[in-house]
Chain A
Amino acid sequence: MTVTEKRPVLVATEADDITADMVISELNRRDVPVVRFNPADVGGDLTVSARFGTCPAPVVGQVRTPSRTADLTRVRSVYWRRPEWPSFANLSPDDSRFAAAQVRYGLGGTLYALDGPLWVNHPLRIAAADYKPVQLALAQQLGFTIPPTLVTNNPTEAREFIRMQGDAIFKTLRWTPYTRDGVPVTGWADPVTPDEIDDSVRVTPHLFQARVDKAADLRVLIVGRHTFSVRIDSELLDWRKDYSALTYTVEHLPDWVDKALHAYLDRLELVSGSFDLAVDRAGDYWWLELNPNGQWGWLETETGFPMSAAFADLLMQGDS
């Protein structure tokens, strides 16, 4: 064992994260030390101390949890899985805004200052990639076919676009936590008709898209140089609506599609991402969207693809 092999992987995620557990188990199997933390634990179970300008290394210090200490100069890689930022909901609005920002810019900022580790993925790159208009434009640039899409807060244009497409759907531009009468709700790809459009479209931009006459969906997970491509067959417009109605098979992507998806992540400086594509009845591919931090744990269980091992290999390899 060289010293390099003992450098830790930081795993930033909440405690309840079975998918992270799958990757950590693989890292344990590889005898790679893991320091798991959740930013929301700051103050109690999480301490950060970083010094700047005190020695030749630009950043020195530690992140400490109740069980582990990570030396910031020795971090091999960072797995940014599903971290929670603290909300300080018990403080006044001003104090909670202040406190939350200090954590983001103090703890987050210290981690962003490290120039050594490999990030899977860097949160600032994830944030930059999370704009659907940016994603659609880049997909077309890289040679993909995308469904005609309109982003507008003009009800007249929205109505006209939906009428022209014949079959159209509405998608949210951004997910936010939302409960209605105590029940959590979320956006689904659902058909929309012109007569459903009213003046409240004017309040914010909305995304309308032609509905692809698809034969199946594809979920393509890229982890480093690996591509895991899964065909999802169902009768559903949005396959997330009923997982029990789905069948999964391994899909062999054409070489150009595989290369273009890797190029897509390279352009956004991401090392991993989950793409949603559709195959139409003619067998042509339609690019739908990228989830830079997408869920994949259940797909490993369904397909047997060694996804968590691929994440562990990538994190182990780190910046070397």
Chain B
Amino acid sequence: MTTSVVLPTLTRPWGAGRLAPYPTATRRPHATVTIDPTTQLGVFRDRTGQVVEMGKHGTSSGTETSTTTNSDSRNDQGHDQDSSQD
């Protein structure tokens, strides 16, 4: 195989074109999260400052796959494991 190939350095990798949106974009009800000093649990509040009960059942499947902060894929390979600096 001696065929010379001009490397398409400015070409986007083929795989990037295969990425697709998350199908279940569940809107979560809170606007802010703070940490309760006593329990160390998250306290979720809506835009008016009212505490929103997320609880254990907030981990419904829809929540886990919402597009922004809770996607399963992101957790599975999270930014904390980013090896870009190694």
Cα A243 to Cα B39 in complex, Å, equals 31
How many of chain B's residues have a CB under 8 angstroms from any CB in A? 60
Please give the distance in Å from A157's CB to the nearest CB on chain B.
10
Please indicate the chain B residues that have their CB under 8 angstroms from the CB of A126 in the complex: 80-81
- Residues of chain A within 8 A (CB-CB) of B54 are 18, 21
Instruction: Report the bound CA distance from A141 to B40 in whole Å.
Output: 42
User: 1/0 contact trace for A5-31 toward B, CB 8 Å?
Assistant: 000000100111111111011001000
Q: Which residue of A has the minimal Cβ distance to B54?
A: A18
Q: Which residues of B contact A209 (CB under 8 A)?
A: none
* A25-B41, A123-B80 given; A184·B59 CB < 8 A: no
A186 contacts B23, C-beta separation under 8 Å? no
> Do A175 and B63 have beta carbons less than 8 Å apart?
no
Whether B80 contacts A203 by the Cβ 8 Å rule is no
- Docked Cα-Cα span, A68 to B41, in Å, equals 13
| B residues less than 8 Å from A186 (CB atoms) | 19-20, 22, 71, 73-74
Q: How far is the CA of A288 from the CA of B79 in the complex (A)?
A: 22
Rounded to whole Å, the gap between the CB of B6 and the closest CB of chain A is: 10
Q: Are A104's CB and B33's CB within 8 A?
A: no
Contact with A along B10-23 (1 / 0, CB 8 A): 01111111111111
Bound form: Cα–Cα A19–B13 in Å: 34
List 18 interface pairs A-B (beta carbons < 8 Å), by A numbering.
A14-B69, A15-B42, A16-B44, A16-B70, A24-B41, A65-B35, A66-B37, A67-B40, A68-B37, A80-B80, A123-B81, A183-B67, A184-B71, A187-B73, A206-B15, A293-B80, A297-B59, A300-B56
Known: A188-B18, A203-B14, A244-B61. 10 other contacts (CB 8 A): A15-B33, A82-B75, A82-B78, A82-B80, A130-B83, A175-B73, A180-B19, A190-B18, A206-B15, A243-B62
Q: Which residues of B contact A (CB under 8 A)?
A: 5, 7-9, 11-24, 30, 33-35, 37-42, 44, 54-65, 67-83, 85-86
